[in-house]
Amino acid sequence: MNARRFCRAVLLTLTLNVVGLLVLSAAQEAHPPHWAYEGKEGPKEWGNLDSSYAVCSVGKTQSPIDIKGAKKTDLPALNFSYHTIPLDIIDNGHTIQVNYAPGSMLTVGGKLYTLQQFHFHNPSEEHVNGKDFPLVAHLVHADAEGHLAVIAVLFELGNANPLIDTLWKNIPAVKEKPHDIPSISIQAQDLLPNERSYFTYAGSLTTPPCSEGVSWYVLSSHSTISPQQLAAFAKIYPMNARPIQPTNGREILLSKRGFDIPAKASRQ
C-alpha cells in the first residue's frame, strides 16, 4: 500500500469512527439512560447513571418531601379550566400516563399554565405529617417559558373513581406505545376533590433528570379510589415512588382559605 492509499484508509477509518460516535450520541440523547425504582438503577443511584441526572444527587430542592410545619398564608385560588378530550394513554415503563391535548389551563395568581399530562405513583410520593397515601396523581403543567407546575392529588381508599375505571380498562398491552382512543372522552377534573385548598413549595421532578424549579401544589383534601382500583394498578406497578427527600429549610405554605368548587364547575 502506497502512502496515498494509506492516508485515504486512515481518513476513511477516522470518518467512520466519528460518524459512529455521532450516531451513538444521537441514540443516547433519543434514549436517555434507563432508571428504575430499585436495585442498581434505583433512586440512590440515579445521580450516577448519567451526568444529566446529577441533580438527583446534589440538588437542594428535590421532591417529594414530607409536608410538615406548613405556614397558613393567604394564597390565591387554583383556577382550573380543563377541557374534555379524547383519551391518549401510555404505559411508559415507569407509570400509566395520560397525555393531554393543548388548551386546558391552570391559573394561579395570574400565572397561566397548560396541562401537559398526568400520571400516577403507588404509593403516594408525598407524605403529609409523616403519612403516605395509597396513590397519587401528578398533573403536570407548563407555562409559555417552560416553567413547570404540578398539582398532586392524594387518594384514600373508598369509593371507586369513574375516570380511573376508564383509564385502567384502556391501559395499552404494550409498554411505551401510546394508545389514542377517539371514541373515549375524559375530563381531568374528575380526578380532583371538590375542596381545593393546598400546600405549596418549591421542588423538582420526582424522576430523572430531577430538574429543579418546579412549583408544587399538593391538594390538602383527598379523592378516593377503591381497593380493586388500587390492586389493578399495583399489579402493573407494585411500587413506583421516589423516597422522601430532605426539605433543607424550604418554606412550605398552606392556603388559609378553602376553595370549594361545585362538582360540575368549569368543565367543558
Query: Could you report the per-residue pLDDT of 152-192, keeping only the tens digit for each?
Result: 999 999 999 999 999 999 999 999 999 999 999 999 999 99
Residue 199 neighbours by CB under 8 Å, 6+ apart? 67, 70, 128, 216, 217, 218, 220, 252, 253, 254
Residue 1 in this model has a pLDDT that exceeds 70: no
User: Are residues 241 and 122 in contact, defined by beta-carbon separation less than 8 angstroms?
Assistant: yes
The answer to whether 221 and 203 have CB atoms below 8 angstroms apart is no
Q: State the cell numbers at 54.
A: 446529577
Quick one: pLDDT at residue 247? 98
Residue 17: pLDDT over 70:
no
Instruction: Give the residues across from 150 on adjacent strands.
Output: 140, 216
Question: What whole-number distance in Å separates Cα of residue 31 and Cα of residue 91?
Answer: 16
pLDDT value, residue 2: 55
Q: Which pairs with CB-CB distance under 8 Å and at least 24 residues apart come from 114-117?
A: 114/141, 114/142, 114/143, 115/82, 115/139, 115/140, 115/141, 115/188, 116/140, 116/141, 116/142
Residue 216 has pLDDT above 90, yes or no: yes
pLDDT on residue 32: 80
The distance from CA 142 to its chain's CA centroid, rounded to whole angstroms, is 12
pLDDT for the residue 31: 73
Instruction: Report percent pLDDT > 70 for the chain.
Output: 85
Whether 259 has a pLDDT exceeding 80, the answer reads no
Report all structural domains of the chain as residue ranges with CATH numbers, in order of start. Answer: 62-255 (3.10.200.10)
3-state SS, residue 207: coil
What are the residue numbers of the active site? 94
* pLDDT tens per residue, range 41-95: 999 999 999 999 999 999 999 999 999 999 999 999 999 999 999 999 999 999 9
**Does pLDDT of 11 surpass 80?**
no
8 A C-beta contact, residue 115 and residue 139? yes
Please tell me the predicted confidence (pLDDT) of residue 244.
Answer: 98
Question: SS3 for 5?
Answer: helix
> What does the pLDDT average to over 3-26?
42
pLDDT at 266: 43
With a cut of 60, say whether residue 130 has pLDDT above it.
yes
**Across all residues in the chain, what is the average pLDDT?**
89
Q: If we measure between CA atoms, which residue out of 126, 96, 106 comes closest to residue 199?
A: 126
pLDDT at 229 over 80: yes
Q: Is the pLDDT of residue 116 over 60?
A: yes
pLDDT of 28 > 50? The answer is no
- For the cut 50, the answer to whether the pLDDT of residue 133 exceeds it is yes
Cα separation, 149 vs 105, in Å, equals 11
